[in-house]
């Protein structure tokens, strides 16, 4: 149920993603999630929900529902705060009502124009493209992240949306090695080389969008494929008496990644957590390898930033 990170801290393999949860429903979902056994929560300054999450966490801890040390809380440094790492982290801690974070990630490997600490709006230039700051290197950002560990504000630091080139570079310049690389990966976007590269070098991979979630929201992303509708996942769901979502999550866990599905539905909170009482056979893991479409669903940069940052 837990992965031991390269610094000895443990991270639950199953976490709850909070991106795109509606304002007003978060506290209720958090308290229910803790009640049914979630301990790992994937937050970010950019999700603009830290104040509400902070209220939920304070209530859960004060009421004795859970102890702080039983929780694993992640937040992320937004692109516009690469030059203000300490202030940004302190801002997230204040909003979350916490003394320390379990994990703090560089959300994207790109620094953009600073828009004020905690203000995560993505500034676009006159040309309609993301206003990228070319004066701050990722190495500079990383050393500021390391200072957060030395200051006791965060237990682990990591990266997100880094490819093999950038991850390798980070390993070369880091004194505190990244504990996690959080990347989009699911049965339609398997990224076997990146996953293996990270794992070989002691970096735990956390699968964001583990259900290919953007495809479940075609009105938002215009996505074409929904991996949960894949005939093989449906066939395996039938075979194991599970849902296609449980098959996708179990597949993620069996390839030694942590998974952080988002849901706003209580029934699905339980469903997504129930993936530790069965195992996919090796031959079925192999079959899932064949349905990879190399299909990235999270096209937020193309849609909102006027450029494809993965180009």
Ligand X SMILES: NC(=O)c1ccc[n+]([C@@H]2O[C@H](COP(=O)([O-])OP(=O)(O)OC[C@H]3O[C@@H](n4cnc5c(N)ncnc54)[C@H](OP(=O)(O)O)[C@@H]3O)[C@@H](O)[C@H]2O)c1
Binder among 5, 12, 19, 131 for ligand X (CB under 6 A): 19
Q: The tokens 């706003």 sit on which residue?
A: 264
Query: Which DSSP string do the residues of 261-290 spell out, in sequence order?
Result: -----HHHHHHHH--SS----HHHHHHHHT
Angle (CA) 139-140-141 rounded to 5° is 90
Taking CB under 6 A as the criterion, which residues in 132-161 touch ligand X? 160-161
Instruction: Give 126 or 294: the residue with its C-beta nearer to ligand X.
Output: 294
- Residue 103 three-state SS: strand
Contact flag: residue 263 with ligand X (CB under 6 A) = yes
Size of the site for ligand X (CB under 6 A): 31
Instruction: Give 49 or 175: the residue with its C-beta nearer to ligand X.
Output: 49
Q: Rounded to an integer, what is the distance from CA 155 to the centroid of its chain?
A: 17
Q: Rounded to an integer, what is the distance from CA 41 to the centroid of its chain?
A: 9
Is-catalytic flag, 47?
yes
CB of 171 to ligand X, least distance (A): 19
Contact flag: residue 110 with ligand X (CB under 6 A) = no
CB of 16 to ligand X, least distance (A): 8
Instruction: Give 167 or 298: the residue with its C-beta nearer to ligand X.
Output: 298
Residue closest to ligand X when measured from CB atoms: 213
Taking CB under 6 A as the criterion, which residues in 55-84 touch ligand X? none
Q: Give yes or no for a contact between 252 and 185, defined as CB atoms under 8 angstroms apart.
A: yes
Radius of gyration of the chain (CA): 19
Binder among 216, 233, 237, 288 for ligand X (CB under 6 A): 216
Contact flag: residue 268 with ligand X (CB under 6 A) = yes
CB of 246 to ligand X, least distance (A): 7
Instruction: Give 153 or 207: the residue with its C-beta nearer to ligand X.
Output: 207
Residue whose C-alpha is closest to residue 242's, from 203, 280, 214, 211: 280
Residue whose C-alpha is closest to residue 296's, from 146, 205, 184, 169: 184
Query: How many C-alpha atoms does 133 have within 13 Å on its Cβ side?
Result: 22
Residues in touch with ligand X (CB under 6 A): 17-20, 42, 107, 160-161, 182, 208-214, 216-217, 228, 243, 245, 260-265, 268, 271-272, 298
Catalytic residues: 47
């Amino acid at each position: 149920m837990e992965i031991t990170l390269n610094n000895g801290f443990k991270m639950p393999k199953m976490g709850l993603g909070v991106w795109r949860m509606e304002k007003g429903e978060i506290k209720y979902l958090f308290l229910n999630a803790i009640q049914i056994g979630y301990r790992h929560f994937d937050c970010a300054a950019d999700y603009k929900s830290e104040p509400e999450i902070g209220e939920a966490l304070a209530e859960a801890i004060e009421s004795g529902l859970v102890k702080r040390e039983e929780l694993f809380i992640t937040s992320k440094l937004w692109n516009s705060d690469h030059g203000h790492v300490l202030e940004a982290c302190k801002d997230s801690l204040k909003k979350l009502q916490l003394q320390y974070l379990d994990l703090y990630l560089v959300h994207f490997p790109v620094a953009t124009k600073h828009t004020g600490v905690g203000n995560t709006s993505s500034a676009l230039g006159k040309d309609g493209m993301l206003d990228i700051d070319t004066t701050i290197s990722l190495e500079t950002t990383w050393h500021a992240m390391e200072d957060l560990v030395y200051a006791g504000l965060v237990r682990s630091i990591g990266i997100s949306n880094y490819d093999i080139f950038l991850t390798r570079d980070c390993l070369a310049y880091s004194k505190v090695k990244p504990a996690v690389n959080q990347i989009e990966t699911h049965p339609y976007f398997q990224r076997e080389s990146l996953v293996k590269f990270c794992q070989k070098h002691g970096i735990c991979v956390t699968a964001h969008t583990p259900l290919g979630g953007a495809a479940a929201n075609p009105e938002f992303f215009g996505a074409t494929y929904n991996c949960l509708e894949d005939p093989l996942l449906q066939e395996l769901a039938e075979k194991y008496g599970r849902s296609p979502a449980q098959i996708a999550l179990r597949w993620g866990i069996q390839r030694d990644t942590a998974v952080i599905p988002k849901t706003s539905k209580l029934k699905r909170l339980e469903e997504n957590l129930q993936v530790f009482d069965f195992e996919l056979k090796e031959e079925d893991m192999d079959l899932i390898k064949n349905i990879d479409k190399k299909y990235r669903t999270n096209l937020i940069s193309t849609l909102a930033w006027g450029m494809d940052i993965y180009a």
